[in-house]
Amino acid sequence: MRFLFALALALPFASAAHATKIERIVSPAGIEAWLVREPSVPLIALSFSFRGGASQDAAGKTGTAYMASSLLDEGAGPYDSRAFQERLDAKAIEINFNAGQDQLTGSLRTLTENKDEAFELLRLALTEPRFEAGDVERIRGQVMSILRRESTNPDSIAYKKWWAEAYPGHPYGRPSRGTPETVPAIAVDDLKVFVRDTFARDGLKVAIVGNVDADEAARLIDKVFGGLPAAGKLAPVADVAPQNLGRRIAETVDVPQSVVVVGGPGIARKDPDFMAAYIVNHILGGGSFSSRLYREVREERGLAYSVYSSLLTLKHSALFMSATATRADRAAETLQVIDKEIRRIAAEGPTEDELAKAKSYLLGSYALNFDTSGKIANQLVAIQFEDLGIDYITRRNDMIGAVTLADAKRVARRLLDTGMLVTVVGRAPAPAAATPPAKGG
């Protein structure tokens, strides 16, 4: 059974991005979902998200959403944790949950012949999680172990420090896994309240892909989500821009490498300039081996193994970020190079050749996001969550193609000429030896 399921997942989907036909369906319970039919593959993939993730954690109980997502498949309804996992394994059913800042996401993968049991187990996980004391304490112990490891990991420290300084007093500034102080305070009732207030139909996005028609998809969707409350009870989260721009914060950790994190304001996903910003970021640091940062930091100077930049679009904020890890004695030089490249592209913009190559890559690679059922379902939920429209896939490449060099230069300045918050974490470089005074007269 496991072999058959893995084989089905590995089969390339016939529908690449440009050929993916998306149907909008509405279930009898009124739940909207996007469907892509693929009768040639004997499986069904479901992806979904609920609005409200770690940003809903109470200030003294950060980590609640993360713990809840980790416990949803640890027993539900009549099945304890062992029995629930055994039923999943017996039919090669995969169920996963993850808590992000603004949403809790989930997915299901099953062979078509096992769909009824798979969707019933997912229903139980969402509507009747057991949160038994032994399971809660086991997961709590795992989270605490992760937090202890992160407390000496320069990468984790650098990112947590950056977010805390960029968003002081805001939910985005708190670590989504929680802290050694908050995780022990999370009670079973807190987990139940999170599920009760978050799992509701008004914040739900759903996509279903595979060997299933519209009527059957609607039935399965209602089976899982139809019994949820019509509306959630989410605490309001304020729109916010990153703070402390222009600051550089250093923290010493006795490890061989230093981690450098650079970040500032980004451009919102539905902003008309987003596609131009997306292309500019690809040229700067998002394009891996072809990017300016990779060339200048790694190839030209050998300062780091990898370096990247990215655009992050949260529900209530937008960010540009760049990061790398380097030797402690070369951290200042590495940061100087990154800063120089950011300033250079902000002032001059990309070249015509860089723009053409970036467009070619971004146009050609998009189909790789749609070569399996799981990828398609995930992409469709992300498009729904960003409210980009059911025709986004057909419009996306034209939007990239329409970006001119003038657009890219203007948006590079808008995106990157803003000042950055920097965190550097690692071993402090040894002070340079004093130069002895010259002898003689």
pLDDT tens for each residue of 17-41: 445 799 999 999 999 999 999 998 8
Structure tokens at 199: 């799992």
How confident is the model over 233-269, as pLDDT tens digits? 999 999 999 999 999 999 999 988 999 999 999 999 9
Given a cut of 90, whether residue 432 has pLDDT beyond it is: no
Reference 215, options 28, 42, 20; nearest CA is 28
How far is it, in rounded angstroms, from Cα 423 to Cα 429?
16
Instruction: Find tokens 């990468």 and name the residue.
Output: 155
- The model's pLDDT over 334-352, given as tens digits with 9 standing for 90+, comes to 999 999 999 999 999 999 9
Report pLDDT for 20: 74
What pLDDT was estimated at residue 287?
A: 78
Q: Tell whether the model's pLDDT for residue 69 goes beyond 60.
A: yes
Q: Rounded mean pLDDT of 192-210?
A: 97
Q: In what order do the strands lie in the sheet with 318-327?
A: 248-252, 421-426, 257-265, 318-327, 304-313
Q: Which residues lie closer than 8 Å to 177 by C-beta, 6 or more apart?
A: 62, 63, 66, 143, 146, 147, 150, 183
CA distance 425 to 423: 7
Q: In whole numbers, what is the pLDDT of the chain averaged over residues?
A: 93
Question: Residue 422 CB: number of other CB atoms within 10 A?
Answer: 23
Q: Is the separation of the CB atoms in 75 and 140 below 8 Å?
A: no
The answer to whether the CB of 401 falls within 8 A of the CB of 359 is: yes
pLDDT higher than 70, residue 404: yes
Q: Which residues, 6+ apart, have CB-to-CB distance to 218 below 8 Å? A: 25, 26, 27, 28, 33
In the predicted model, is pLDDT for residue 278 greater than 80?
Answer: yes
pLDDT of residue 429: 62
